[in-house]
Chains A and B, each alone.
Chain A
Amino acid sequence: MSFKSRKIKFSISDLSLFYGDKQALFGVDLDILEQEVTALIGPSGCGKSSFLRCLNRMNDKIDNIQIKGQIALDGMDIYDRSLDIVRLRARVGMVFQKPNPFPKSIFDNVAYGPRIHGMANNAKDLDAIVHKSLQRAGLWDEVKDRLDNPGTGLSGGQQQRLCIARAIAVNPEVILMDEPCSALDPIATAKVEKLIDELREKLTIVIVTHNLQQAARVSQKVAFFHMGKIVEAGDTAEIFTNPKDERTQDYLTGRYG
């Protein structure tokens, strides 16, 4: 573990979330540090996705949803009225469980974000952004000859890396990933994990995963969710080797999940 203290990217305090009458999160506190991978683990239905989606306000539009508490990105409340949600989503990108490329060409998939955010002044700039993003996502060599082919024609693993390329094309500061590998085979999973590790150099990553080995492999910090609360959070190595909470111990030893 390095002693270099990292900046806090996301600071979440006392976050509660209600779907109608049903409460899904109970006063969650968590700090997410820059240039680290933070893994959210815990049994299914414990509120990991709900929490993750708060970070770029993806669940704003759900009927009867109620969110209380503070989420600060670089010290700025993201639920502040003055905040532009379009800007927020450009800063905090998202990768979903099931690869969801647009039914458009590979090029257009990656170019879509830069286009709507006006990031390229001309076609050459756009080409460069697409090239760089695909390269960072480790997909360039596989698709460089068929950028005009539909993104939906790629294999599952390639599609997921295309979605990551699409997300990093707008130069986000944070990428949220909700079980990005659960629909992929082991080889594709290994590629995505490698990619996550590389992206950490420049980005902050928050990843929900069901796979404890994966959390151990890719993350520096782990937060263990249980029934809408964070039971334990800290350095990955620490939690996996020496969990303090009984529930964490039970989960890690596979007693439930």
Chain B
Amino acid sequence: MTEKSSQHPSNFLTSKQLHKRRKAEQRFKAYGISTIIIVISVLLLLLTGIIFKGYSAFTKTEIALEIFYDPKVFKESIPKAILKMRDTGSLIRRALQKEFPDIKDSDEIRKALQLISPNARISLIRKVVEDPRLIGTTRLTWVSASDNINLFIKKPQQRKLPAYQRQLDDQKIAWIDQLRERKKLRQRFNVQFFTNGDSREPEQAGILGALMGSFYTMLVTLLLAFPIGIGAAIYLQEFAGKSRLISLLELNISNLAAVPSIIFGLLGLAVFLNFMDFPRSSALVGGMTLSLMTMPIIILAARAAIQAVPSSIREAAEGLGASRVQLVFHHIVPLAMPGILTGTILGMARALGESAPLLMIGMVAFVVDIPHTPLDPTTVLPVQIFSWLRNPEQGFIENTAAAIMVLLLFLILMNLAAIVFRKRFDHKW
């Protein structure tokens, strides 16, 4: 080796140089690994933080009360609409008095009532509407505990805090302990989180409204952005030819993809709401606004995918006498479709996570009802997260984290779908 390198000094690296080169390689590798480690640990930190805060939102506390379904409150014959207005609070009050016979004055009974969620009253009415035979009987009925109780049960370390730092005083804690001893306290999977709309009470608030809102918004976005985006891409790529106007157009589409999303919200506000007078806060307008944002992404992805179709396939089709339209629709579009779909899914995922432009068009309004059409006022997941985060109640924090988990789940699913598409339809030419 030494002999050789002395013979051809220019052709062989000395062992020292080789050593240096290997060192540089190792150093570079180490940089790479450490960046990856940093990224992954930040991600893990974020995820565990959210999961730790949010997982408890998926369970809720219920309290069992001996409810006497008083016929004086529920008259069998009265229609449902009026039934709803009946005050079932008195039934709960009586049940509480029976449960805790040591309650003396109205102050204490008011305190006891704070154990129960305000929505328990409505749930009693619902029970009676479902099964009118309850009227006149006494039943052990599980009702939601209030937000404070819920939090206390989930985070028992509160008990050790001095009284002024707790949300529950000693009396309430004593009651809870009693209930627990009597097995009248339980943790349940919080179905309502997935079946309810928004609410002022964190233990009653659910994400179904926002989910449906997101669904309708995405539907409108997809129906608008996908066909228009593909059409534009095909036209630009295959039919437009080259002119100064076309290059200007192409440049602007690329620029549009980089415009901050809130600008699109302003546009939606000015055009769709103020000028065209579409329903405010609706999924329709949200979808239209987001489609403006998604369309350039789809156009760019589709053009790249169309460009990637090898020219040999074009020549083969043209050589057989395929017309331009036949070439495009028989060969180019099918071959470009996986790439187009991948781009579309990624664009849609971005739209799903978008909140700023939707704030501009009023989708931040407090909506309890679950939207049934794209015209109903609604909110979407990211905006719901934003609204909940602004609420002062403790319970909304876990709701927020739980909603983030749901949103992340959908985003991960969409990205996975994009990866699967890319892998599945990877052509070999």
* CA A112 to CA B320, docked complex, whole Å: 8
In the bound complex, do residue A96 and residue B316 qualify as a contact, i.e. CB atoms below 8 Å apart? yes
Interface set, chain B 267-326, CB cutoff 8 A to A = 310, 312-313, 315-323, 326
The reply on B242 being an interface residue by CB < 8 A is: yes
* CA A101 to CA B312, docked complex, whole Å: 9
Min CB gap B53→A, angstroms: 49
Q: CB-CB contacts of A83-106 with B at 8 A, as 1s and 0s? A: 001111110011010101111000
The reply on A117 being an interface residue by CB < 8 A is: yes
The reply on B98 being an interface residue by CB < 8 A is: no
Q: CB-CB contacts of B321-338 with A at 8 A, as 1s and 0s? A: 111001000110001000
Of the residues A58, A103, A152, contact of B319 by C-beta under 8 Å = A58
In the bound complex, do residue B318 and residue A103 qualify as a contact, i.e. CB atoms below 8 Å apart? no
Contact A89-B316, Cβ < 8 Å, known A116-B326, A152-B428: no
The reply on A170 being an interface residue by CB < 8 A is: yes
Of all chain B residues, the one with the shortest Cβ separation from A97 is B312
The reply on B31 being an interface residue by CB < 8 A is: no
The reply on B429 being an interface residue by CB < 8 A is: yes
Contact A56-B242, Cβ < 8 Å, known A103-B335, A116-B326: no
Residues in chain B near residue A58, CB distance under 8 A = 315, 318-319
Min CB gap A136→B, angstroms: 16
Of the residues B315, B320, B429, contact of A103 by C-beta under 8 Å = B429
Min CB gap A201→B, angstroms: 22
Contact A167-B319, Cβ < 8 Å, known A98-B312, A100-B312, A103-B429: yes
* CA A63 to CA B241, docked complex, whole Å: 9
The reply on A113 being an interface residue by CB < 8 A is: yes
The reply on A166 being an interface residue by CB < 8 A is: yes
B: number of interface residues (CB 8 Å): 20
The reply on B427 being an interface residue by CB < 8 A is: yes
In the bound complex, do residue A87 and residue B319 qualify as a contact, i.e. CB atoms below 8 Å apart? no
Of all chain A residues, the one with the shortest Cβ separation from B327 is A116
Of all chain B residues, the one with the shortest Cβ separation from A91 is B321
A: number of interface residues (CB 8 Å): 26
In the bound complex, do residue B429 and residue A167 qualify as a contact, i.e. CB atoms below 8 Å apart? no
The reply on A230 being an interface residue by CB < 8 A is: no
Residues in chain A near residue B319, CB distance under 8 A = 56, 58, 89, 93-94, 96, 167
In the bound complex, do residue B313 and residue A86 qualify as a contact, i.e. CB atoms below 8 Å apart? no
Contact A89-B318, Cβ < 8 Å, known A63-B242, A98-B312, A100-B312: yes
In the bound complex, do residue A100 and residue B320 qualify as a contact, i.e. CB atoms below 8 Å apart? no
Contact A100-B323, Cβ < 8 Å, known A58-B318, A89-B318, A152-B428: no
The reply on A163 being an interface residue by CB < 8 A is: yes
Interface of chain B: mostly helix, strand, loop or mixed = helix
Min CB gap B323→A, angstroms: 6
Min CB gap B160→A, angstroms: 68
* CA A246 to CA B321, docked complex, whole Å: 41
Min CB gap B387→A, angstroms: 49
Interface set, chain B 132-147, CB cutoff 8 A to A = none
* CA A96 to CA B313, docked complex, whole Å: 11
Residues in chain B near residue A94, CB distance under 8 A = 315, 319
Interface set, chain A 59-84, CB cutoff 8 A to B = 63
* CA A49 to CA B331, docked complex, whole Å: 25
Residues in chain B near residue A170, CB distance under 8 A = 320-321
Residues in chain B near residue A88, CB distance under 8 A = 321
In the bound complex, do residue B312 and residue A113 qualify as a contact, i.e. CB atoms below 8 Å apart? no
* CA A63 to CA B331, docked complex, whole Å: 22
In the bound complex, do residue B326 and residue A100 qualify as a contact, i.e. CB atoms below 8 Å apart? no
Residues in chain A near residue B428, CB distance under 8 A = 103, 152
Min CB gap A161→B, angstroms: 14
Residues in chain B near residue A100, CB distance under 8 A = 310, 312-313, 315-316, 429
Min CB gap B335→A, angstroms: 7
Contact A152-B429, Cβ < 8 Å, known A100-B312, A116-B320, A116-B326: yes
Q: CB-CB contacts of A126-164 with B at 8 A, as 1s and 0s? A: 000000000000000000000000001000000000010
Of all chain A residues, the one with the shortest Cβ separation from B312 is A100
Min CB gap B304→A, angstroms: 19
Min CB gap B332→A, angstroms: 11
* CA A117 to CA B317, docked complex, whole Å: 12
* CA A33 to CA B330, docked complex, whole Å: 35
Interface set, chain B 332-353, CB cutoff 8 A to A = 335
Of all chain A residues, the one with the shortest Cβ separation from B335 is A103
In the bound complex, do residue B320 and residue A89 qualify as a contact, i.e. CB atoms below 8 Å apart? yes
Residues in chain A near residue B335, CB distance under 8 A = 103
In the bound complex, do residue A102 and residue B321 qualify as a contact, i.e. CB atoms below 8 Å apart? no
Q: Which of A85, A100, A152 has the most CB of B within 10 A?
A: A100
Min CB gap B330→A, angstroms: 8
In the bound complex, do residue A96 and residue B312 qualify as a contact, i.e. CB atoms below 8 Å apart? yes
In the bound complex, do residue A116 and residue B312 qualify as a contact, i.e. CB atoms below 8 Å apart? no
Residues in chain B near residue A85, CB distance under 8 A = 321
Q: Which of B310, B312, B321 has the most CB of A within 10 A?
A: B321
* CA A86 to CA B324, docked complex, whole Å: 10
Q: CB-CB contacts of B231-246 with A at 8 A, as 1s and 0s? A: 0000000000010000
In the bound complex, do residue A87 and residue B316 qualify as a contact, i.e. CB atoms below 8 Å apart? no
Contact A86-B316, Cβ < 8 Å, known A102-B331, A152-B428, A152-B429: no
Residues in chain B near residue A96, CB distance under 8 A = 312, 315-316, 319
Min CB gap B425→A, angstroms: 10
In the bound complex, do residue B331 and residue A86 qualify as a contact, i.e. CB atoms below 8 Å apart? no
In the bound complex, do residue B312 and residue A89 qualify as a contact, i.e. CB atoms below 8 Å apart? no
Q: A residues within 8 Å of B by Cβ?
A: 56, 58, 63, 85-90, 93-94, 96, 98, 100-103, 112-113, 116-117, 152, 163, 166-167, 170
Can you list 7 A-B contacts with CB-CB less than 8 angstroms, sorted by A residue number? A56-B319, A58-B315, A58-B319, A93-B319, A100-B316, A103-B313, A112-B320
Can you list the 9 inter-chain pairs with the closest CB atoms, starting with the nearest? A89-B321, A100-B312, A94-B319, A113-B320, A90-B321, A100-B316, A86-B321, A103-B427, A116-B322
Known: A58-B315, A98-B312. 14 other contacts (CB 8 A): A58-B318, A86-B321, A86-B323, A96-B312, A96-B315, A100-B312, A100-B313, A102-B331, A103-B335, A112-B322, A116-B321, A152-B428, A166-B320, A167-B320
Q: B residues within 8 Å of A by Cβ?
A: 242, 310, 312-313, 315-323, 326, 330-331, 335, 427-429
